[in-house]
């Protein structure tokens, strides 16, 4: 039994979708054929079912890299070989609008967790086969929603303290969006030799110049989450 996920590894498929929100995990499982809850502990709610004939799991990892890392490590210990994160993120770029989607190719490591695992220069990169599969799955949806691809940034602090995080620096460097777990997923998957990637629904602007009142509960964001869930499931079953 995996101690934090409370999953019996014999039940865990090789292909897994992960997301922060347990309610989103339940919703994604409702898209599956015979989707059902098969484990639950803390923020980790695990569902199993079939997508286009292939068995997949959907597991929530909560908010933030340390808790998510527990989830990723135990999934890999339990036999997961491909993990795709279906997340949300704040945009740094005017052209990356709320309600659009970002396929993350890499993550700037502004989290604390990965600096306890690997040296500073170690890259956090998505697997190229996963990224390619996400790109193909997204392009087969006929441009119904804008899809961007590029670097994202992983940060621990959702709200600022007295220190201002230099969002503007990363905006100028071409980073598309900020979220809180991708670097952990990429570093851990590289260390353990499995494939991982991430797709993100943009739920607002994180950049101070563009920011309005943060409201991630809009129809545009819900539509983007619905679309990215379908894209991730398609990418998971069609990966080469
Ligand atoms: O929507 P999820 O997958 O939780 O992702 C993003 O949303 C949470 C913050 O609201 C963080 O977990 C961040 O990474
Ligand atoms: O970490 C996150 C996630 C969604 N939106 C943000 O602005 N930040």
pLDDT tens digits, one per residue of 113-145: 999 999 999 999 999 999 999 999 999 987 789
Residues within a 6 A CB radius of ligand 1: 19-21, 63, 87-88, 158, 179-181
pLDDT tens digits, one per residue of 154-213: 999 999 899 989 999 999 999 999 999 999 999 999 999 999 999 999 999 997 777 778
- The mean pLDDT value for 221-235 works out to 98
State the pLDDT at residue 210.
76
Residue nearest to atom 4 of ligand 2 (CA): 89
Check: CB of residue 112 under 8 Å from CB of residue 41. Answer: no
Distance 115 CA to ligand 2 centre (A): 21
Beta strand pairing status for 147-155 and 177-179?
parallel
- The mean pLDDT value for 91-102 works out to 97
pLDDT tens digits, one per residue of 31-40: 999 999 999 9
State the pLDDT at residue 65.
98
Residue 228: CB within 6 Å of ligand 2? no
Q: Pocket of ligand 2, candidates 171, 206, 212: which has the most ligand atoms within 8 Å of its Cβ, to mutate?
A: 206
- The mean pLDDT value for 57-78 works out to 98
Residue 89: CB within 6 Å of ligand 2? yes
pLDDT tens digits, one per residue of 13-26: 999 999 999 999 99
pLDDT tens digits, one per residue of 148-168: 999 999 999 999 899 989 999
- The mean pLDDT value for 209-232 works out to 92
The CATH superfamily label for domain 9-238 reads: Nucleoside phosphorylase domain (3.40.50.1580)
Task: Please state whether the predicted TM-score (pTM) of the whole model is above 0.95.
Answer: yes
Residue nearest to atom 7 of ligand 2 (CA): 90
Task: For the chain, give every domain's residue range.
Answer: 9-238
Residue 110: CB within 6 Å of ligand 2? no
State the pLDDT at residue 156.
98
State the pLDDT at residue 145.
95
Ligand minimally distant from the alpha carbon of residue 157: 2
Catalytic residues: 203
């Amino acid at each position: 039994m995996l101690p934090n996920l409370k999953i019996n590894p014999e039940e865990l498929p090789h292909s897994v979708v992960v997301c922060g929100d347990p309610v989103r995990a339940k919703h994604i499982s409702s898209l599956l054929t015979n989707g059902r809850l098969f484990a639950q502990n803390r923020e980790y709610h695990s569902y199993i079912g079939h997508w286009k004939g292939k068995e997949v799991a959907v597991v929530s990892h909560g908010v933030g890299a340390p808790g998510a890392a527990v989830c990723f490590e135990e999934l890999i210990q339990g036999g997961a070989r491909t993990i795709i994160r279906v997340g949300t993120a704040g945009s740094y770029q005017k052209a990356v609008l709320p309600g659009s989607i970002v396929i993350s190719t890499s993550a700037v490591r502004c989290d604390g967790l990965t600096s306890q695992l690997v040296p500073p220069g170690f890259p956090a990169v998505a697997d190229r086969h996963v990224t390619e599969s996400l790109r193909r799955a997204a392009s087969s949806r006929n441009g119904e929603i804008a899809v961007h691809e590029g670097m994202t940034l992983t940060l621990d602090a959702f709200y600022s303290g007295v220190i201002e995080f230099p969002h503007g620096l990363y905006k100028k460097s071409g980073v598309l969006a900020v979220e809180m777990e991708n670097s952990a997923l990429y570093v851990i998957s590289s260390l353990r030799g499995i494939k991982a990637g991430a797709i993100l629904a943009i739920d607002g602007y994180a950049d101070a110049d563009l920011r309005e009142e943060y409201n991630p509960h809009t129809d545009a964001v819900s539509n983007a989450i619905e679309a990215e869930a379908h894209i991730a499931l398609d990418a998971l079953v069609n990966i080469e």
